[in-house]
Amino acid sequence: MGSKTLITIKPLYHNQTKLVAIHFEPDETVKHYIQAFSDVKWTETYKTFYTTFHKERINQLFRYFRKKGWYVNYDAFKTITEQPEAPVLKKPEIINKLPPLIDEQVAQTLQFKRWLEQKRFSENTVNTYVEVTALFLRYLNLKKIDTITSRSIEQFNYDFIFNAQKSVSYQNQCISGIKHYFNFKNIVVEAFEIKRPNKDKKLPNVLSKVEVKSLFDSTQNLKHKTLLSIVYSAGLRIGEAINLKLIDIDFERGLIHIKAAKGRKDRYTLLSTGLIPLLHTYIKHYNPKVLMFEGRFGEPYTQVSARQVLKKSLLNAGIKKYATLHTLRHSFATHLLESGTDIRYIQELLGHSSPKTTMIYTHVSTTSLRDIKNPFDNL
């Protein structure tokens, strides 16, 4: 093996998210070494190991594999064009000019990541905060700024976020990520206050009951149907569904115990009586050990795989309406409201901290709208 081993890393795009696929000739030693790298997972859909992508990930992988004396082919990242996740930038040169992190900064961002993980932030939040912090540090390198001041932060916000036409949500993530980095490094910046812009108030997409039934009927794979069914029937976030354990399902009481959900809160939600036969069939067939939905190596089923499942089912059902896995949660809440369930109970089932969050479903429910007499009908 030794220097003859070749590792090829290539971009892997899924749902406009850029990942890093890791390819190699079958070898158990190589496989175990890859699995030992932080944040590496297996995708059954693409039959490859992969990890999340950020600006320093390629350098990290290169150094990691070179420790073994292996060849690393990363040519695909030299020519690949980034898929835009936001509107076209007004000043793309700002991003293009950002220099790489120095070794000390790379080490700091890795320590920052571990610090965030110990605070039990979600995986997505950790990756986002680390990425935006790395961009901020690279911006400081570009401007040759040694001491962080409120002025440098405001300038980064203006050049990299405002002028680049980044979304309001992304701007808020940047502010949060940088502030957490300051806490991690015990950095105090006087008069640092960037106002968080209000998010656009968009109504959620909702599938009708007919569309939901069609979605399930067109899903033939037992695991896929069970996953989509439990997400909808219990109003789960996808992260809650893929981390669900067998012991969390109380068949006798007809409840599902959701543990350490968003905000590290526990809650109970509904276990549909109509879902129980499907669950028993699924458990008997797949015999899951701990997690309800296990991947190839007994790890949690990945969100990437779950999104691919929904995409295929929507296509098979002929549903052209834009929908995500979270759309099933929105649909669950809306259908409960339309059937007369009190908004306070829906809030508890969804695990919302504030009733204001749940009230958005009153704007997409058709029950009250059907009772309104349209003036056109009286013309």
What are the residue numbers of the active site?
A: 237, 262, 326, 329, 352, 361
Q: Report the alpha-carbon distance of residue 49 to residue 156 in Å, rounded.
A: 35
Whether residue 163 contacts residue 94, with contact meaning beta carbons closer than 8 Å, is answered with: yes
Q: Report the alpha-carbon distance of residue 103 to residue 91 in Å, rounded.
A: 28
Cα-trace Rg, the chain? 24
Two structure tokens written together for 204: 């959620």
Three-state SS for 148? coil
Strand order in the sheet with 249-250: 249-250, 255-258, 267-270
Q: What is the 3-state secondary structure (H, E, C) of 3-56?
A: HHCEEEEEEEEECCEEEEEEEECCCHHHHHHHHCCCCEEEECCCCEEEEECCCC
Two structure tokens written together for 208: 């009708």
